[in-house]
Amino acid sequence: MRIFIDKQSPKAFHALVQTSVAVRAVAAEAGLERTVVELVNLRVSQINGCAVCLDTHTRAAVRAGESARRLGVLAAWRDTELFTPTERAALALAEATTDPTDAVAQESAYETARQVLTDDQISAAVWVAVTINAFNRVSIMSGHPVRANRGAPGGESGVTVPGG
């Protein structure tokens, strides 16, 4: 059985939560819409295979007004016309942040981002990706389960992982 590191070391987890709150504020101040933030959270969580964060941020994206259609094709965002230039730039930065070994992807992501995002938006998008990567690792290494709540339409996660 794994240790829930968020419960074992609550001070460290609380610091991560506080970071996510600050990052969310930075993103809002930079003018990144909440849907863009949630798309970044979801794309990073898809890459990392974090079921808890996928569950949490899918619900957050829906609450923010995201459509089922766009959520369904997010993993193949490059192959669609459904995402705006701002969203595409943020998603490219998210992927480059999640795989820091791909220098070519990083340069390409920055080139794309520079065409449509401000420096503040670029920084915010990268911080969102950094933060959700950290939450992904907390949940994955803890073995957090995604459980359906009895009586909840569509089920709800049994674990609440804030932020990202």
Q: If pLDDT is split at 50, 70 and 90, which confidence band does 155 have?
A: very low
**pLDDT tens digits for range 51-93:** 999 999 999 999 999 999 999 999 999 999 999 999 999 999 9
What is the chain's mean pLDDT, rounded? 92
Does residue 147 register a pLDDT over 90? no
Taking 3-state DSSP, the helix, strand and coil percentages for the chain, each rounded to the nearest 5, stand at 70, 0, 30
Q: Mean pLDDT, to the nearest integer, of 99-122?
A: 95
Please give the backbone phi and psi of residue 5, each rounded to the nearest 5 degrees, phi first: -65, -25
**pLDDT tens digits for range 23-49:** 999 999 999 999 999 999 999 999 999
Domains of the chain, start order: 12-142 (1.20.1290.10)
Give the percent of the chain with pLDDT over 90. 88
Q: How far apart are CA 108 and CA 22, in angstroms?
A: 27
- pLDDT at residue 55, rounded to an integer: 96
CB 117 within 8 A of CB 86: yes
- pLDDT at residue 157, rounded to an integer: 40
